[in-house]
Structure 1
């Protein structure tokens, strides 16, 4: 039997423009009307990316905004395993197509943000050199004709060139002046994404205790060595334990309970955890509690004492007046001073 021929393929080959090549690939290009993604040749023909990385980049670029693209999520969507997908993501991250960074949410929860750029080379160019599409020219409307104008049978002659006149003459009744074309609004600026080679701010130093006593150092070392019983990811070396022990001693110096420190360091871990020592450094520095207040700090502030001046009875007129000591009222004092008599004045 002869080989079965595909009638549709044969018909499509006859519609390819130009002579068909004698070897190599033959493209049958059909126009997409829906469900398509534009991919640049800089990605499709990238000389340094593997085919797995190129295919994974096309898959990520075709997903809607907000779709999870973690290693676990991509493994569930693709046929490749976690190792190949992780290696492909590292390739895309090294060439600037993919960027991953940590973001802290309210409530001390840390999440990983993933940003995919379809043209990473365009981010490195200055904004002035970026190609900007020329705005479309709006059609200039023809000048309106008078409502009483009746066109003649022949073609209208070309209008004479108009010379500029300082004041514009008023528009007569029954005609409408041509409106000036409104330029289209400028295109919105693309969101700024820092390039992968941008310098990162220096990390804050690890906290240090006021006095590293042997008891604090021994307790901090034991707590770090015991972390692997609760989380196997934190199997630390002796050098890492000696480096992190002063920071844990600072927590203990501020009266933090060892169970509280252990839960803070091991709860809500990212998956997968690639750098356990860096995570411990970050949590020991960013989540360091303040020192406990003393008894004097917790005492309520003393209220100011209000001194009330008591009432006294005047020795002459029995009138009541305020004074710390008994004596005469103001009127009686003035009368006695006028007579030249002795006056008992309250201190």
Structure 2
């Protein structure tokens, strides 16, 4: 008979020892990562784990950030690439635009043609990386805090809010905002305007009592003010009923009746 070693571990024990992580694992994801050396895109967790964006918007933002410059990202091109269809893709693009990950600008080409240029922001509120052959090391800014959003984000209301933010620098040069910062803050200003706050009052709330020693990050300061000082909705105003038509004498029977038009007949005479 072959000699047995009583101290040798069993097959089950050996498997648990070889994979200690699996033996303690009780559910959830396990990452098996391989380092990328070519053809990869860096995506921030502020996008991948965004709490307000839909899963379609997050995936679409990752796809757009992976594309080379000047690649077409219009709705027709994206709908031909993905199965979601133009309606859902258009909604996801609006989500990204509202949260500052995307903005669209209409520009005129040298030939006079009007085209739409799409700018993808991989980190809303962060300083764009300057074009250079030698990359610069810099500490990125934290994402801007969320701002209030209007109940009905009409394009005209958002445009009015954008214009109001662009004019802040005329009052204080320290309030010069980037395009990404403006796109992030515009819904917050629109929420104020939607509550019957005049543009002058919004301007005063954002520009008064600024720190005298300097404003290190104006967009973060404005986002804080838009959130903490948001006024309540206006009080409900019942519609005023229209006054009744005046009394007139019928041209046919001289009987009094109500009508807004002079020189008419009553209902009996007209029939």
TM-score under structure 1 length normalisation: 0.32
TM-score under structure 2 length normalisation: 0.41
> Which structure has the highest helix share of the two?
2
Which structure exhibits the higher relative contact order, with contacts defined as CA atoms closer than 8 Å and separated by 6 or more residues?
A: 2
